[in-house]
């Protein structure tokens, strides 16, 4: 057991091992989790959180890495959280194609963390926001949350960011895939990467068309820009950062940023509350209250719904 307040102090100083330790405490649902979260609360809110999502092969890591470079040129401290819901491997190591991030591995102004949440209690929705809080409290100015695929949970993670970036690449039938996965609703900024390839313009046009469909925007509404990049060569990256900054400014002007953060916090609280209640009910297994209710159901004297009512009303007493 390490002293939480000293860990937090060290994380504030930018010590990567303290940050790593805090994230481990948080994602492992350690007994100190609550203490950690309480200590972090007053230190959070400074970071701008950018979610990146897109199908495998669009060049997400490359884009993320290029964004890190761009932000570092501006002197910002950057956190990268690479979330993979299909992998059981977690930790500070650079996994798989995370290798592209290795150029930043020795930069003390960059903190990179892979997070695998398969089999995680409460899933991704629960763990990732907590890790973001650690990076936020640790003084990151920008946090890039990169998800691996475009499944429902990835979209959920990405949409919990301040700004969501959806990446596409030419010739991958991405338009339809994107529509299917619902990412056309979550993108604040669209990036067509590998724009030097055939079909990049077609992809951008198709995307532009799809974004325009069902459009009924007012004059002050946000129209998601489409940025073309060749991230591997750094092309279009400054334009991407510019688009992100524009979106951030637009949100701040209209109070949208605060609203999104409130909504995000509310969702977090909800998820934690449901998990806590589920655990409390789980603790009742073998408890005589639940056994007695079950006994009455089997005997036909009670139906499971009324039994659940009794159980729920008994929860706050326990």
Measure the CA dihedral 79/85/87/91, to 10°.
30
CB of 305 to a second copy, least distance (A): 5
Q: Is 300 in the site for a second copy (CB under 8 A)?
A: yes
Nearer to a second copy, 62 or 130 (CB): 130
9 binds a second copy (CB under 8 A): no
Given a contact cutoff of 8 angstroms between Cβ atoms, the answer to whether 26 and 130 are in contact is yes
Residue span 226-265 as binding mask against a second copy, x where in contact by CB under 8 A, dash where not: --------------------------------x--xxx-x
287: left (phi over 0), alpha (psi -120 to 50) or beta: beta
Query: Nearest distance from residue 318's CB to a second copy, in Å?
Result: 11
If binding is defined by CB under 8 A, does position 205 make contact with a second copy?
Answer: no
Told to check if 313 binds a second copy by CB under 8 A, we report yes
Q: Is 170 in the site for a second copy (CB under 8 A)?
A: no
**Which one of 165-173, 203-211, 238-246, 273-281 is the stretch in contact with a second copy (CB under 8 A)?**
273-281
Which candidate, 129, 206, 118, places its Cα nearest to that of 161?
129
**Which position has the token pair 């890591």?**
61
User: Which lies closer to a second copy via its Cβ, residue 223 or residue 262?
Assistant: 262
Q: 3-class DSSP state for residue 53?
A: strand
d(CA 191, CA 174): 12
Question: Judged by CB under 8 A, which of 3, 13, 41, 233 binds a second copy?
Answer: 41
- Separation of alpha carbons 109 and 14, rounded Å: 8
Contact by Cβ (8 Å): 277, 315? yes
Q: Collect contacts of 250-257 with beta carbons under 8 A, ≥24 apart.
A: 250/222, 251/162, 251/163, 254/220, 257/162
For a second copy, which stretch binds (CB under 8 A), given 43-51, 76-84, 200-208, 212-220?
Answer: 43-51
Pairing of strands 78-84, 110-116: parallel
Q: Nearest distance from residue 199's CB to a second copy, in Å?
A: 34
Among residues 129, 191, 213, 217, the one that binds a second copy under rule CB under 8 A: 129
Contact (Cβ atoms closer than 8 angstroms) between residue 231 and residue 101: no
| Cβ proximity to a second copy, 198 vs 259, nearer residue | 259
Q: Examine residue 281 and tell whether it contacts a second copy (CB under 8 A).
A: yes
The CA-CA-CA angle for residues 296, 300, 303, to 5°, reads: 75
Give the strand order in the sheet containing 226-228. Answer: 110-116, 78-84, 142-147, 48-53, 163-168, 189-192, 226-228
Does position 29 bind a second copy by CB under 8 A? no
Q: Is residue 276 a contact point for a second copy (CB under 8 A)?
A: yes
Q: What's the min distance (Å) between Cβ of 191 and a second copy?
A: 28
Q: Which residues of the chain form contacts with a second copy (CB under 8 A)?
A: 33-34, 37-38, 40-45, 129-130, 258, 261-263, 265-266, 268-270, 272-274, 276-278, 281-282, 284-285, 290-291, 293-295, 297-309, 311-313, 315-316
């Amino acid at each position: 057991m390490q002293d939480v307040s000293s860990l937090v102090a060290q994380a504030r100083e930018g010590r990567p091992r303290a940050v790593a330790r805090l994230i481990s405490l948080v994602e492992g649902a350690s007994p100190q989790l609550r203490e950690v979260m309480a200590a972090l609360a007053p230190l959070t809110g400074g970071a701008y959180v950018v979610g990146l999502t897109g199908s495998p092969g669009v060049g997400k890591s490359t884009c993320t890495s290029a964004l890190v470079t761009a932000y570092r040129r501006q002197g910002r401290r950057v956190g990268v959280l690479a979330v993979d819901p299909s992998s059981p491997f977690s930790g500070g190591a650079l996994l798989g194609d995370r290798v592209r991030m290795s150029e930043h591995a020795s930069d003390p102004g960059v903190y990179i963390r892979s997070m695998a949440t398969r089999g995680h209690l409460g899933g991704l929705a629960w763990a990732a926001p907590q890790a973001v809080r650690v990076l936020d409290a640790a003084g990151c100015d920008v946090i890039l949350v990169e998800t691996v695929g475009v499944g429902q949970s990835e979209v959920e993670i990405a949409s919990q960011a301040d700004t969501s970036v959806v990446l596409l690449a030419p010739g991958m039938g991405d338009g339809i895939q994107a529509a299917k996965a619902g990412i056309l609703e979550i993108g604040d900024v669209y990036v067509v990467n590998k724009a030097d390839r055939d079909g990049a313009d077609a992809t951008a046009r198709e995307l532009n068309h799809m974004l325009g469909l069902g459009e009924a925007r007012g004059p002050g509404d946000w129209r998601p820009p489409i940025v073309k990049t060749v991230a591997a060569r750094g092309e279009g990256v400054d334009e991407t950062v510019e688009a992100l900054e524009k979106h951030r400014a637009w949100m701040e002007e209209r109070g949208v940023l605060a609203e999104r953060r409130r909504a995000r916090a509310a969702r977090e609280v909800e998820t934690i509350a449901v998990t806590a209640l589920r655990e409390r009910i789980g603790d009742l297994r073998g408890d005589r209250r639940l056994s007695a209710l079950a006994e009455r159901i089997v005997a036909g004297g009670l139906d499971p719904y009324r039994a659940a009512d009794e159980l729920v009303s008994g929860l706050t007493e326990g």
